[in-house]
């Protein structure tokens, strides 16, 4: 349920309502918008029906949330969430955030080189996998903690924040120590223990949609994180598995406006994984910006033929530079910046 408060509600009145809800063993979350403050309530809603909450000072009305995903819905938070990622970087506002880097961290020297390339073209976040989920157990699995340390060095030398994938709840202390943004990959979108664990973290989370999941399932996964208290949450559309084999996955471009309508969370597009081929990446990235994405996360590599993972879909530096020019033009056309 949602408790909508009056425009001039006092802090004392809010505290009184919250105390009452906690006495009922319910979990309240306060959301302050531009015009209204609301309290989202999770728990046994039958208890609320027995309480005359409309009679409490400061309460304007009480209403049920119709969607199964309560706290990430637009009903709960009508204003779009603007999330602070760190060092003055925010996502969800006017500026489209560009995240760029290799699929996986290979060497210190290469990561630093790609970080400087990304920074030079206007990216604000460096992507790079320290732990890699691979289909084959014999493929390169990542550098682990060493890779995370390289991301910290890259941040120190370029100012770029880092986003990197976490697969195991036991690694959370490492990610809280080294990473700026924790990525939950497509294969782990419904790993609920992992979602709950990062939901208790203070780090921003980038949640990727699973390759065979509906939008509702995606938002329910987001609800797991948000309901644990971590509200610095970003959604990422990265393509679905279908009968089409020309591309690696099929990007659901329509999911972007749908997600923007159904949730207040920022939405990022990954054009690299659905393309599977660098030839198609720029067009998908441009489409993502035009469709209203708040960010683009793209793979780049200076020598893709030497890449240990996903070389065919990584943009060459000159391709990335050209794409940045094109995306800036599109962003300006729809009233945004890059």
Residue 76 lies in a domain: no
Do residues 55 and 104 share a domain? no
pLDDT tens digits, residue range 83-127?
A: 999 989 999 999 999 999 999 999 999 999 999 999 999 999 999
Q: Is 36 in the same domain as 121?
A: no
Q: Do 271 and 165 fall within a single domain? A: yes
The Cα–Cα gap between 67 and 218 comes to 13
Q: Which helix or strand (DSSP H or E) is residue 192 part of?
A: helix 192-199
CATH number, position 174: 3.20.20.70
**What residues are paired with 163 via a beta bridge?**
127, 181
Of 3, 36, 32, 6, the residue nearest 18 (C-alpha): 3
The pLDDT tens digits of the residues spanning 253-289 come to 999 999 999 999 999 999 999 999 999 999 999 999 9
Q: Which two tokens stand for residue 50?
A: 């027995």
Counting Cβ atoms within 10 Å, is residue 113 exposed (0-12), middle (13-18) or buried (19+)?
middle
Residue in the structure block whose two tokens are 């880092």:
162
Q: Residue 17: which domain range?
A: 2-63
Looking at the structure of the chain, the number of domains it has is: 2
224 Cβ contact list (under 8 Å, min separation 6): 192, 195, 196, 199
Predicted model pTM: 0.89
Q: What is the pLDDT of residues 166-194, one digit of tens each?
A: 999 999 999 999 999 999 999 999 999 99
- In the predicted model, what is the mean pLDDT of residues 121-148? 87
Mean pLDDT of 152-158: 98
> Is the domain of 158 the same as that of 57?
no
Give the 3-state DSSP-derived string for 59-114, with helices as H, strands as E and coil as C.
EEEEECCCCCCCCCECCCCCCCCCEEEECCEEECCCECEEEEECCECCCHHHHHHH
Q: Would 123 be classed as within a structural domain?
A: yes
Claim to verify: residue 257 and residue 143 sit in the same structural domain: yes
Assess if residue 338 is contained within a domain: no
Question: Are residues 50 and 113 located together in one domain of the fold?
Answer: no
Query: Per-residue pLDDT averaged across 214-232, rounded?
Result: 95
Any domain includes 272: yes
């Amino acid at each position: 349920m949602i408790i909508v408060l009056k425009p001039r509600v006092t802090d004392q009145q809010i505290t009184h309502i919250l105390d009452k809800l906690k006495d009922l063993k319910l979990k309240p979350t306060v959301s302050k918008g531009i015009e209204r403050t609301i309290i989202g309530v999770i728990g046994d809603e039958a208890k609320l029906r027995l309480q005359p909450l409309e009679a409490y000072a400061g309460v304007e009305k009480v209403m049920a949330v119709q969607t199964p995903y309560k706290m990430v819905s637009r009903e709960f938070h009508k204003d779009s969430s603007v999330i602070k990622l760190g060092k003055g970087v925010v996502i969800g506002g006017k500026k489209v955030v560009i995240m760029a880097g290799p699929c996986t961290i290979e060497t210190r020297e290469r990561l630093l080189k790609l970080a400087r390339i990304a920074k030079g073209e206007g990216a604000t976040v460096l992507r790079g996998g320290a732990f890699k989920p691979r289909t084959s157990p014999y493929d390169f699995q990542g550098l682990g903690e060493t890779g995370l340390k390289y991301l910290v060095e890259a941040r120190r030398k370029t100012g770029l924040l880092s986003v990197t994938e976490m697969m195991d709840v036991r690694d959370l202390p490492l990610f809280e120590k080294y990473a700026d943004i924790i990525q939950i990959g497509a294969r782990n979108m419904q790993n609920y223990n992992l979602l709950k664990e990062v939901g208790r973290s203070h780090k921003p989370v980038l949640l990727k949609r699973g390759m065979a999941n509906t939008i509702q399932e995606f938002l329910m996964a987001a609800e797991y994180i948000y309901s644990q208290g971590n509200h610095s949450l970003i959604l990422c559309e990265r393509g679905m598995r279908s009968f089409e084999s020309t591309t690696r996955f099929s990007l659901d471009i329509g999911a972007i406006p749908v997600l923007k309508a159904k949730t207040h969370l920022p939405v990022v597009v990954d054009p690299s994984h659905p393309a599977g081929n660098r030839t198609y990446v720029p067009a998908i990235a441009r489409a993502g910006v035009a469709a209203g994405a708040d960010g683009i996360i793209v793979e780049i590599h200076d020598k893709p033929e030497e890449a240990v993972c996903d070389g065919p879909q990584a943009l060459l530096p000159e391709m990335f530079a050209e794409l940045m020019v094109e995306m800036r033009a599109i962003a300006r056309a729809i009233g945004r910046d890059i």
